[in-house]
Amino acid sequence: MESERAEYARSVGLDPHRLPNHVAIIMDGNGRWAQQRGQRRVEGHSHGVTSVRTTIEECCRLGLSQLTLYCLSSENWKRPREELDFLLALLQEYLVSEREMLSRENIRFHVIGHRDGLGEAVLEEIRFNEELTRNNSGMGLCLAINYGARQEILDACKRLASQVVRGELSIGSIDEAAMSGALETAGMPDPDLLIRTAGEMRVSNFLLWQISYAEIWVTPCRWPEFDIGTLHMALRDYAGRERRFGGLAAPGGVA
């Protein structure tokens, strides 16, 4: 299977040895895509589901280890109630309709973010999919729903503080590994590549701890326009970068 994925990567012009391990995507521009076409904003969210599906399937074909999608931020609750209701109904429908794909592609499904306000119907489908795929061994798929990185970090600090109070942890033993283990993404590799659509130059409170050394790639195309070709462009650009993690460039490079 690994050789088949490597062969496929080469067939589309990608070096299988230069692919990121974990790709995180801020899916932006659904509403603007629809408004540009004289449609309601919610129509953009419906069309965006196709981009979600094709992106997940292509990442599986390429053999990536982890894909994280920013679906709904904690700040998105400021949007009109009609749009929020539509988003939650669309999410519930997606969680059911993509269940066959999760099993077929051997995907491990996980959701991060506060689950308050999502509604019992959505929560039931989330729990079902997480349990259904718990023992799968393929790509990890993480959906960030009602998620905010600042809140995630605060919650992690509270967990560590509680352990200290209970005598289970000493202050001196709190290091980066302990902090990472207290986050909702515990056990997941940090993103190597962060993709943002719609041309926005900000990270929007997304995985602030985890993306410390991620490469960032921004495209002007809006999420419903994001396709396999655009994903390949991001991966090729990533492959051409030198990741130094604060160190010096290789001999002949630029520090």
φ/ψ (deg, to 5) at 63: 80, 25
Yes or no: say if 237 and 217 are a contact pair by the CB < 8 Å rule.
yes
Question: Given 15, 21, 30, 76, which residue is catalytic?
Answer: 76
Is 146 a residue of the active site? no
CA dihedral 92, 126, 67, 101 (to 10 degrees): -70
Question: Given 28, 30, 129, 192, which residue is catalytic?
Answer: 28
| CA nearest to 151, candidates 77, 85, 89, 215 | 77
H helices of 144-196, where?
149-165, 176-182
As a whole number of Å, the CA-based R_g of the chain is 19
Is 205 a residue of the active site? no
DSSP state for residue 118 in the 8-state scheme? S
| Active site members | 28, 76
